[in-house]
Structure 1
Amino acid sequence: MTGTLPRHALGFLMVGGPSVVIDLAGQRLVIDPTFDPPTDYGVLRKTHGPAVQAQAVADADVVLVSHADHADNLDVSGRAFALAAPRLLTNPGSARQLGAHAKGLDPWESAKIGDEVTVTAVPAQHGPADGEVDTAGHINCEVTGFVIQADGTTVYVSGDNASLALVVQVRQRFGSIDHAILNAGRATVPAKFGGRPLSLSAERASAAAQVLEAPHVVVVHQTGWEHFIDGPGATIRAFRDAGILDRLDRTPEGEWSVGRLDAS
């Protein structure tokens, strides 16, 4: 593939794993880029490559990184992509890892992207509420979500958040959420917290969607890695059981979710 993909007024493109491209108000945002081929990283093993190659979205205006600690959210190629982008926003701890090019945002701190887009960092918790905290006071590691606002549209990006209580805080703070991108998959590593989930399960993703009352929900972080337990089938069942299957975006990876948005 040569050249970059055409832009949309509003569009979502699932790349694989947690990686999503968002076109909004003339800006292209790439979330948690992971462009490596299948790779064994030791603790984590990637089983599928990206549905979209890095060069196809190399015109990104900003990259948002939920955390730089784990390869499933920022692999080797993704790190290079992030560092080459005009702007890179993440949490303070990850900014220290990524160097001077990265801007670390504290929870509820905002940054402007162009003239129209505002990105706000929001709290996230990468594991169970009673999980052991690290020396910096974080469960598992420091991680952030984001709320993106422009043109009267609000998008919530959960990052690797496992806490419904924090989803409630986001809903209370921002009110109506138009589009929710939820990292689910019930990510599990046996050595951490007794194998309990480090991200939303399918059922808790469905619960988060109900809390947010978002009419459009994109569930990611559920394919391409061995430690994702709940795949797309589990997500569909959970949303169907809750009676909100019509909110779940089932656009395949590598294809833009644009048409349904224009029609809504």
Structure 2
Amino acid sequence: MDFSVTHIGGPTALLEIGGVRILTDPTFDPPGKLYHFGWGTFSRKVVAPAIAVGDIGRIDAVLLSHDGHADNLDDVGRTVLPAAGKVVTTTSAAKRLGGNAVGLEPWATTTVDNAGTQVRITATPGRHGPPLSRPIVGQVIGFLLEWDGQEHGPVWITGDTVYFDGVSEIATRYNIGTALLHIGGVRFPYLSGPIRYTMNAAEAVRVAREFDLKTILPVHYEGWTHFRQGRDVAEAEFADAGIGDRVHWLVAGEPLHISS
């Protein structure tokens, strides 16, 4: 069964798999606001969402990699959560959000069903910064999606993570065909110098090779001032690595149909 991905902005995308509609990290605020992320870090949103929140329609599941940063869950994005069938997120975020939130530790699973389609969701490990950074940046997970009829393996949404041992473990457990890679090389130089909080293009290339990805969908590299690597840098790195033909740059607001 094929599926479609519509990029809305930043980490936010709508996946339509048969009758199931899944939204990732909802961010729908208008541009212009300055957000404080804690410990002296901040960022300004500079691009509007490609689809307004009122035009999203029914959502069977929200996949929320973490709830602590507005570039993954902003004010308007929070209004989406109560109406969704379920919100799949970290165990700590589920406690804070309550209601329909389901918290998963890495490798735990849940399912979402609609109109005869069932999607199995498995939490994958993430680390949103350097070693020992979790007390500062909080818990984060990614998501692995499986459904009947997949020919090229599961779909993986990395969430905000750097490359670390937990990422390589995913490759040993699953033969993934498609990945939505959160890149952007996020740094906060006024706080932590060279310390990075998301994958950069070089790490994305490493993941693509290690996982032998068939389809690479970069997200989370534009729309905010704290991103340090845009499409131009990542595109050049992918081309230099000889994998540019596997990369699909999503056009905001336009669904891309992908063979699964």
TM over 0.5: yes
Given residue 17 of structure 1, which amino acid in structure 2 is its aligned partner? G
| Aligned equivalents of 1:29, 1:192: Cα separation in 2 | 35
Deviation per CA, 1:204-227, whole angstroms, max 9, x where unpaired?
112111111111111101000000
> Normalized against structure 2, the TM-score is what?
0.90
Report the counterpart of residue 176 of structure 2 in structure 1: 177
Report the counterpart of residue 211 of structure 1 in structure 2: 210
**Following TM superposition, by how much is the alpha carbon of 1:57 offset from its aligned partner in structure 2, in angstroms?**
2.0
Q: Does 1:19 align with 2:17?
A: no
**The residue matched to 1:238 in structure 2 has which SS?**
helix
| 1:1-264 → structure 2 map (5 Å cutoff) | 9-38=2-31, 39-42=33-36, 43-114=42-113, 116-129=118-131, 131-134=132-135, 140-151=137-148, 152=150, 153-174=153-174, 176-190=175-189, 192-258=191-257, 261-262=258-259
**The residue matched to 1:145 in structure 2 has which SS?**
strand
From the superposition, tell whether residues 118 and 133 of structure 1 become closer, same or farther in structure 2 (CA, over 3 Å). closer
**The residue matched to 1:166 in structure 2 has which SS?**
helix
**The residue matched to 1:116 in structure 2 has which SS?**
strand
**Following TM superposition, by how much is the alpha carbon of 1:184 offset from its aligned partner in structure 2, in angstroms?**
0.3
Contact 1:108 1:121 in 2 (8 A): yes
> Normalized against structure 1, the TM-score is what?
0.89
| Aligned equivalents of 2:178, 2:211: Cα separation in 1 | 9
Number of equivalenced pairs:
248
**Following TM superposition, by how much is the alpha carbon of 1:248 offset from its aligned partner in structure 2, in angstroms?**
0.4
Deviation per CA, 1:21-60, whole angstroms, max 9, x where unpaired?
1111321100001000012124121111111112222211
- More divergent stretch after superposition (12-21 vs 206-215): 206-215
**Following TM superposition, by how much is the alpha carbon of 1:101 offset from its aligned partner in structure 2, in angstroms?**
2.0
- More divergent stretch after superposition (177-186 vs 200-209): 200-209
Contact 1:128 1:163 in 2 (8 A): no
Given residue 144 of structure 1, which amino acid in structure 2 is its aligned partner? I
**Following TM superposition, by how much is the alpha carbon of 1:165 offset from its aligned partner in structure 2, in angstroms?**
2.5
**Following TM superposition, by how much is the alpha carbon of 1:189 offset from its aligned partner in structure 2, in angstroms?**
1.8
Ranked by relative contact order (alpha carbons within 8 Å, sequence separation 6 or more), the top structure is 2
Contact 1:14 1:253 in 2 (8 A): yes
**Following TM superposition, by how much is the alpha carbon of 1:194 offset from its aligned partner in structure 2, in angstroms?**
3.0
**Following TM superposition, by how much is the alpha carbon of 1:164 offset from its aligned partner in structure 2, in angstroms?**
4.0
**Following TM superposition, by how much is the alpha carbon of 1:140 offset from its aligned partner in structure 2, in angstroms?**
2.1
Identical positions, percent: 34
Contact 2:127 2:134 in 1 (8 A): no
**Following TM superposition, by how much is the alpha carbon of 1:149 offset from its aligned partner in structure 2, in angstroms?**
0.5
**The residue matched to 2:228 in structure 1 has which SS?**
coil
| Aligned equivalents of 2:74, 2:224: Cα separation in 1 | 12
Report the counterpart of residue 39 of structure 2 in structure 1: none
**Following TM superposition, by how much is the alpha carbon of 1:249 offset from its aligned partner in structure 2, in angstroms?**
0.5
Deviation per CA, 1:185-205, whole angstroms, max 9, x where unpaired?
011123554341100011111
**The residue matched to 2:15 in structure 1 has which SS?**
strand
| Aligned equivalents of 1:141, 1:193: Cα separation in 2 | 17
Q: Which has the higher strand share?
A: 2
